[in-house]
Amino acid sequence: MIPLSDENPTVRTPWMTILILTAMFAVWFVVQGAGGLFGPSDLLARSVCNLGLVPGELTGRAPLGSGVPIGDGLACVVDHDWINWLTPLISLFLHGGWAHILGNALFFWVFGNNIEDVMGRGRFLAFYLLCGLVASATHVLVDPASPVPTVGASGAISGVMGAYLVLFPRVRVRMFFFFLIFWKVIPIPAWAVLLWWFGMQLLSGLPQVLTPSPEIAGGVAVWAHIGGFLTGVILVRAFEDPELVQRRRIALAGLGVPPG
């Protein structure tokens, strides 16, 4: 089930959403070599290892010098490099593969432009980064000794999705369904899409808390998703701009578009 678009027009061009997407892809191509298309074949692995968020490095609970396999003949080794303290932010702009970055970009575009529309560019950027940092912190708190590097914008994007649930629960989202050789696009209310997604994160994350184990965690920082989503739900009203909300309401009413 993949979101393709929503029935929720914007009043202002979402320049900050576009800028964040541009930054994500610029890092993907320049720093990470587009997953091996450019630069050395191990550039992607090295970028994830050196710039990804490693909880055990921040907490000091992962033994110095211990490592985890990250590719053919490669291992990511725990160190005390100064840049580790910046990885909660840097890792938000890194990705692990083409499917990872394209999936995140799609979710961010579908849900992000409308949130920017009610916050304005500056507030939206601050909100996005704050949700991402809280998501990173949640991941560290749940798995503080992990030596596994984590990358991706999904924690911050989860915050945007949480904000969307609060502001536009009744807006229909066009979801792509694929059944073996058949496919169909079905409009579904945003509250159903987002609550289903959040429920799946909880189902995936609870075993990690109840029975901590690297095998159970599966390499996906689902608690970062949960932390980011809840942050978005809680903080969205503090970041929305009343003037922009009113301007948007008037503009959409003139177009005959019902409120979310």
Domain boundaries, the chain: 2-254
Mean pLDDT estimate for the chain: 90
According to the model, what pLDDT value does residue 260 have?
A: 65
Q: % helix / strand / coil in the chain, to the nearest 5? A: 60, 10, 25
Other beta carbons within 10 Å of 93: 22
Higher pLDDT, 173 or 39: 173
Per-residue model confidence as pLDDT tens digits over 100-146: 999 999 999 999 999 999 999 999 999 999 999 999 999 999 999 99
According to the model, what pLDDT value does residue 217 have?
A: 41
Q: Is the pLDDT of residue 84 over 80?
A: yes
Contact assessment for residue 68 and residue 62, using Cβ atoms and an 8 Å cutoff: no
Question: Which DSSP symbol is given to 162?
Answer: H
Q: Is the pLDDT of residue 178 over 60?
A: yes
What letter represents residue 143's amino acid? D
Per-residue model confidence as pLDDT tens digits over 190-228: 999 999 999 999 998 887 666 655 443 445 689 999 999
According to the model, what pLDDT value does residue 9 have?
A: 93
Judged on CB neighbours under 10 Å (0-12, 13-18, 19+), 74 is: middle
Query: Which one of 1.20.1540.10, 3.30.70.3270, 3.90.1150.10, 1.20.120.1200 gives the CATH number of domain 2-254?
Result: 1.20.1540.10
According to the model, what pLDDT value does residue 218 have?
A: 42
Mean pLDDT of all residues in 2-11: 93
Contacts of 199 (CB under 8 A, 6+ apart): none
Judged on CB neighbours under 10 Å (0-12, 13-18, 19+), 50 is: middle
